[in-house]
Amino acid sequence: MSDQNYKRILKKISTSAGLEEEELERRVEAKRAKLSGLISKEGAAQVIAAELGISFDNEKLKINELLPGMRKVNVVGKVINLFPVRTFTTKKGDEGKVANLFIADDTSNVKVVLWDTNHIEFIENGQIKVDSVVEISNGSMRDNEIHLGSFSELKLSKKVLENVRAERIVKEKSIIDFRVGDGSSVRAFVVQTFEPRFFYVCPECKKKAVQEGESFVCVEHGKVTPEKRALINIVIDDGTESIRSVLFHEAIPSLGLTELENTEKLLNQREDLLGKEMIFSGNVRNNKFFNNAEFIVDGVKEVNIDELIGVLGEKN
């Protein structure tokens, strides 16, 4: 959990209960001490809110006020991205559907996951499309996504939303505060690197091309002359925790790895990379195979000491 989100909870409690934030911080630390530090600051703050009779349920919120774990979320946003409806089979053998979209307001944007067939029909029949403004009631926050089930409400809104934040929101975070779905940036050290893995994609749609005999086939475009691509796994550590990270073809050179198919030169470049501090940005996702979080890195920058000193000066 980021310090920014924790401060946001304190501010809400302070406003509702009429208590100074400093007093609430003391109560949070006392609560954590009582529980031997086994509860996060956010968890302790929520316990204190409950003790004071304060609930965040049913409040109309801006998107940047949404916090992991919130229930009965009410929010209004403009649809900025829609994904095709997917079907899946449950463990019981039943067929289900799920739909994903992104909504935005003037503060931020968030992914919305629809599980109810009535909500999904709005997308299938074209009632809800890109640029529609929707009102969500009784949603729940899972990690950094709004999930809507059969008890949630989704409807078109007559509100006009202009100047929405449609760009990807990247927040500076410590690795220990990473949550699945986050767009995050972190200054960290490379502590481990792995051999590159190669695969082939269709030159038209860039989807994976499968080898059949001596040829490569794309599901959409049939037999193709494929493009060779690479991915590399590294482990980065910022002092709070480490995370396995993945860089795909276009992002790999920014690490300083340019000789992917020359074993000896690549080994030297990988050795030079170990212990190097850099700024990584990307998205946190769940690796289904290992069932743990991994960082999909799409941007790498060298640490600019002058820039860093300037930022620290502004904070002070």
CB-based contact 185:178 (threshold 8 Å): no
Whether 249 is covered by a domain: the verdict is yes
Q: Which helix (H) or strand (E) holds 32?
A: helix 21-34
Average pLDDT over residues 211-217: 90
Tokens 């994904």 sit on residue: 83
Q: Domain of 89: which CATH number?
A: 2.40.50.140
185 lies in the same domain as 137: no
Question: What's the domain count of the chain?
Answer: 3
Provide φ and ψ at 40, rounded to 5°.
-75, 165
119 lies in the same domain as 253: no
pLDDT score of 1 more than 70? no
Domain that holds residue 101: 63-156
State residue 237's pLDDT score.
96
Whether 104 is covered by a domain: the verdict is yes
47 lies in the same domain as 68: no
Return the minimum-mean-pLDDT range out of 27-41, 124-138, 180-194: 27-41
142 lies in the same domain as 225: no
Residues 301 and 269: their CA atoms lie apart, in Å, by 17
pTM higher than the cut 0.75:
no
Share of the chain above pLDDT 90, in %: 51
pLDDT score of 313 more than 70? no
Angle at 63 between CA 155 and CA 311, to 5 degrees: 160
Tokens describing residue 148? 């809507």
Q: What is the mean pLDDT of the chain?
A: 87
Whether 44 is covered by a domain: the verdict is yes
**144 or 125, greater pLDDT:** 125
Whether 163 is covered by a domain: the verdict is no
Average pLDDT over residues 199-209: 87
State residue 12's pLDDT score.
81
Q: In Å, what is the CA distance from 105 to each residue of 74, 96, 132, 272?
A: 13, 30, 12, 44
209 lies in the same domain as 287: yes
208 lies in the same domain as 139: no
Cα 266 from chain centroid? Answer: 31
Average pLDDT over residues 255-267: 93
Q: In Å, what is the CA distance from 164 to each residue of 39, 77, 104, 269?
A: 36, 9, 6, 43
305 lies in the same domain as 177: yes
